[in-house]
């Protein structure tokens, strides 16, 4: 006699918990996971210090779109995953076969792959949602590397799962959603909610979750976007992520002795104070800040082209550039500008936003703004450009 009486699959009698329902919700899960995975790969690539195949600077709104899709599809997957897990939950209590060994092994492998799939999916959606909500409860691991590594685990397990289930999926779609021929034994034929209503309700919940998030990217959705973080206006029409106070630069950024240095192979070749920067040819570009957390906003930025600055400093060849902030330490205090991004005429050292000098929190006296670039790399409070040959 065991102390804890585990339920058996037969303990669950609802007709809603059927492969006919699981397959239909599963298709939408596969679509959202697929979209989330591909856009996530792009985001990871965009944040590499040294993109292997070069980095595209057009369209300027590319990262804004892909990261918006990434966060929206991830949030949309949450209701789908919850209902899918509820539907297949009884199978957790199936007694594994004890022989023959080949069946024990196969069942073990199949269940193991499901455990990996469920675990990695929950991990991805939970850490992603926490990140989009700017909640970083983890200090022991790097969000980006872990979220990236587990993404491969989840997508690999998903592909295996779909391959294993393909016969059931085809069978389910080949027959009516109310057909009972795929059901476990013992399910009752009556239920308060119909299968159609459950599937429809789940898709509606998923769509609502998506809408409630999309306002972080799509401005006319702001009113309905209760989940969208940082969708409200910030100073000069652009939200603030890290403030000058949080970055510890309130004094250094406001210091009249501020200057921008340019170094080549460690040696300073030019230096500009704010007056000298303002005296160089100014350009205005409409470019978005697109945060990896999913919000984005367009600004009208005015400043000096990075390519002009480098030319002024005597750097005539296309080179990768490391951008340094006044901020000391922290992952965002420097960023790498691949040569093709540095050379793009839209890549600016911005001094102004919306025709006003940058606010301290937007990166006064100078910040980087480049097309099609993740927000984390749009370095604020820029004080140096380093070129290595
Ligand atoms: N030096 C520095 N630059 C930074 C950051 C930072 O923490 N420190 N945050 C980055 C992030 S995550 C984003 S999304 C953008 C946001 O810019 P904003 O606050 O002007 O909207 O700045 C980026 N530049
Ligand atoms: Mo960000």
327 CB near ligand 1 (under 6 Å): yes
Distance 178 CA to ligand 2 centre (A): 46
Looking from the CA of residue 240, the nearest atom of ligand 1 is: 19
247 CB near ligand 1 (under 6 Å): yes
Strand partners, 356: 353
Residues, CB-to-ion distance under 5 Å, ligand 2: 241, 291, 375-376
CA distance 66 to 49: 19
379 CB near ligand 1 (under 6 Å): yes
DSSP symbols for 133-155: TT-----SS-HHHHHHHHHHHHH
In order along its 389 residues, the chain shows pLDDT tens digits of 556 788 999 999 999 999 999 999 999 999 999 999 999 999 999 999 888 788 999 999 999 999 999 999 999 999 999 999 999 999 999 998 999 999 999 999 989 999 999 999 999 999 999 988 877 776 667 889 999 999 999 999 999 999 999 999 999 999 999 999 999 988 887 778 999 999 999 999 999 999 888 876 665 555 555 555 554 567 888 888 889 999 999 999 999 999 999 999 999 999 999 999 999 999 999 999 999 988 889 999 999 999 999 999 999 999 999 999 999 988 899 999 999 999 999 999 999 999 999 999 999 999 999 999 999 999 999 999 999 87
Closest CA to 374 of 132, 63, 68: 63
Distance 278 CA to ligand 2 centre (A): 27
Token digits for 260? 């921008």
Token digits for 226? 């209760």
Strand spans (E) along 107-239:
none
The CA dihedral of 13, 14, 16, 18, to the nearest 10 degrees, is 0
Burial group, residue 267, by CB count within 10 angstroms (0-12, 13-18, 19+): exposed
Determine which residue's CA is closest to atom 15 belonging to ligand 1: 375
Closest CA to 15 of 204, 184, 168: 184
CA distance 206 to 76: 5
Closest CA to 323 of 359, 251, 373: 373
Burial group, residue 389, by CB count within 10 angstroms (0-12, 13-18, 19+): exposed
What are the CA-CA distances from residue 330 to residues 47, 258, 376 (Å)? 15, 21, 12
Distance 43 CA to ligand 2 centre (A): 12
Give the ligand with the smallest distance to the CA of 362.
1
Distance 303 CA to ligand 1 centre (A): 17
Give the ligand with the smallest distance to the CA of 358.
1
374 CB near ligand 1 (under 6 Å): no
66 CB near ligand 1 (under 6 Å): no
Burial group, residue 256, by CB count within 10 angstroms (0-12, 13-18, 19+): exposed
229 CB near ligand 1 (under 6 Å): no
pTM: 0.92
Q: Compute φ and ψ for 268, nearest 5 degrees.
A: -70, 125
Strand partners, 321: 337, 387
């Amino acid at each position: 006699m065991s102390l804890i009486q585990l339920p058996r699959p037969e303990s669950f009698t609802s007709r809603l918990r059927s492969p006919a329902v699981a397959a239909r919700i599963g298709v939408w899960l596969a679509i959202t996971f697929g979209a989330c995975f591909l856009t996530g790969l792009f985001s990871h690539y965009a944040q590499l210090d040294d993109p292997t195949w070069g980095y595209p600077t057009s369209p300027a709104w590319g990262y804004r779109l892909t990261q918006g899709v990434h966060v929206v599809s991830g949030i949309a997957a949450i209701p789908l995953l919850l209902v899918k897990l509820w539907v297949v939950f009884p199978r957790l209590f199936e007694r594994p076969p004890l022989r023959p060994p080949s069946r024990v092994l196969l069942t073990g492998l199949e269940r193991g792959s499901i455990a990996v799939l469920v675990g990695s999916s929950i991990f991805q959606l939970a850490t992603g949602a926490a990140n989009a909500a700017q909640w970083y409860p983890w200090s022991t691991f790097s969000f980006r590397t872990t979220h990236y590594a587990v993404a491969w685990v989840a997508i690999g397990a998903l592909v295996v799962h779909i391959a294993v289930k393909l016969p059931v999926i085809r069978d389910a779609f080949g027959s009516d959603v109310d057909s009972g021929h795929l059901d476990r034994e013992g399910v009752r034929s009556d239920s308060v909610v119909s299968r159609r209503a459950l599937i429809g309700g789940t898709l509606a919940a998923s769509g609502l979750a998506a809408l409630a998030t999309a306002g972080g990217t799509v401005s006319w959705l702001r009113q309905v976007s209760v989940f969208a973080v940082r969708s409200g206006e910030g100073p000069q029409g652009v939200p603030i992520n890290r403030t000058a106070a949080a970055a510890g630069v309130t004094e250094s950024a406001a210091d009249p002795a501020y200057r921008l240095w340019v170094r080549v192979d460690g040696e300073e070749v030019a230096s500009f104070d704010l007056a000298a920067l303002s005296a160089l040819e100014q350009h205005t570009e409409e470019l978005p800040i697109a945060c990896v957390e999913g919000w984005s906003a367009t600004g009208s930025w005015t400043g000096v082209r990075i390519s002009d600055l480098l030319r002024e400093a005597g750097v005539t060849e296309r080179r990768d550039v490391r951008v340094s902030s006044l901020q000391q330490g922290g992952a965002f205090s420097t960023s790498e500008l691949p040569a093709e991004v540095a050379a793009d005429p839209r890549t600016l050292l911005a001094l102004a936003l919306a025709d006003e000098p940058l606010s301290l929190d937007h990166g006064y006296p100078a910040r980087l703004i480049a097309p099609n670039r993740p927000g984390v790399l749009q370095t604020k409070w820029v004080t140096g450009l380093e070129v290595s040959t």
